Amino acid sequence: MIVVACPGQGSQTPGFLAPWLADSASRALVERFSEVTGVDLIRHGTESDAETIRDTAIAQPLIVAASLLALHALRAAAPDAVIGGIAGHSVGEAAAAAGAGILSEDDALRFVRARALLMAEAAAATPTGMSAVLGGDQDAVIEHITEFGLEPANYNGGGQIVVAGALDALGRLGEDPLRGTRVVPLQVAGAFHTHYMQPARDGLEKVAADFAVTDPALTIWTNRDGSVVDSGSEYLRLIVGQVASPVRWDLCMASFESAGITGLIELTPGGALTGLAKRGLKGVPAVAIKTPDDLTAAVELLAAAGSED
């Protein structure tokens, strides 16, 4: 069973869309996505610097549009392949919603645009950020970070927890990490998935009421607790709430394993989730689609899974 994983914020790098736009059909698709979001995705995906695409209002639509572009390409390259399920990390859940047919692509992008603006507004209210804590016992890490007034934001599995809160508190944590751990500041603009995002969650709940949903055509897991969600309306409710709640990617990977995962394909801009899979899903082959050249390996992984069924 192949699981498609849609990456979250922080996975973007300057110029990452450039290899895709040599293809006229891909460029046309991104142009359409730009019209839907009101964001110049081509410019930001090819010319903008790291600081510009760090802006939440730009990063989130850019990442989701890139994931949808890669999913289009994957399905075109392997039209008969069977995808066993799909999941997204944080904002990647919107791409997963479109991939599973819960939301149309345009509505998924409209949702993300609203999400990004609301989260950027909430982040601007207080200087906050996020850092990854690598290594250490999970319970001990949580106990340590609460001493600094920080909150767990992403339980990523494989010995990585992303914590969030005030910038000065994150700085103190970096100076005084739990023994046996390493603290790495992340290039994001706010304390996402914490109580700081409650105003964004409230605003997004109102926005989400206008979207039409259908039940998923693919197995889809939620960041809330790693469980499978069978209802489109419930999935939408969960991704609204997830704005101010921790991402449990560790539980998602545990669910993939329980479901019999045989391979993971991470959509563009890939890399982060395949890295987590190497530690959290040991022995499971994983392919990150960073450029069109990576489609061959992804198709081969799908073909291998099909031959085993």
Residue with tokens 């996505």: 33
% of residues, the chain, pLDDT over 70:
99
Q: Is the pLDDT of residue 236 over 90?
A: yes
Rounded CA-CA distance 275/222 in Å is: 20
Active site residues: 90, 193
Residue with tokens 């910038």: 167
% of residues, the chain, pLDDT over 90:
93
Orientation of helix 24-37 relative to helix 56-77, angle to 10°: 140
In a 3-state reduction of DSSP, which class is residue 262?
coil
Q: Write down the pTM of the prediction.
A: 0.94
Domains of the chain: 2-124+194-308 (3.40.366.10), 127-185 (3.30.70.250)
Q: Is the pLDDT of residue 276 over 90?
A: yes
pLDDT confidence of 299, banded at 50, 70, 90? very high
Which pLDDT belongs to residue 188? 81
pLDDT confidence of 307, banded at 50, 70, 90? low
The answer to whether 215 and 231 have CB atoms below 8 angstroms apart is yes
Q: Is the pLDDT higher at 155 or at 307?
A: 155
Range of weakest confidence among 11-15, 49-53, 185-189, 268-272:
185-189
pLDDT confidence of 309, banded at 50, 70, 90? low
Report the candidate in 224, 262, 191 with the shortest Cα–Cα distance to residue 1. 262
In a 3-state reduction of DSSP, which class is residue 266?
strand
The answer to whether 289 and 265 have CB atoms below 8 angstroms apart is yes
Q: At 16, phi and psi to the nearest 5? A: -65, -20
Q: Look over the chain and give the mean of its residue pLDDT values, rounded to a whole number.
A: 95
Q: Is the pLDDT of residue 133 over 80?
A: yes
The answer to whether 178 and 140 have CB atoms below 8 angstroms apart is yes
- The pLDDT tens digits of the residues spanning 157-172 come to 988 999 999 999 999 9
Q: Which two tokens stand for residue 149?
A: 């007034």
Q: At 35, phi and psi to the nearest 5? A: -65, -40
Pairing, β 182-185 against β 128-134: antiparallel
264 bridge partner residues: 3, 286
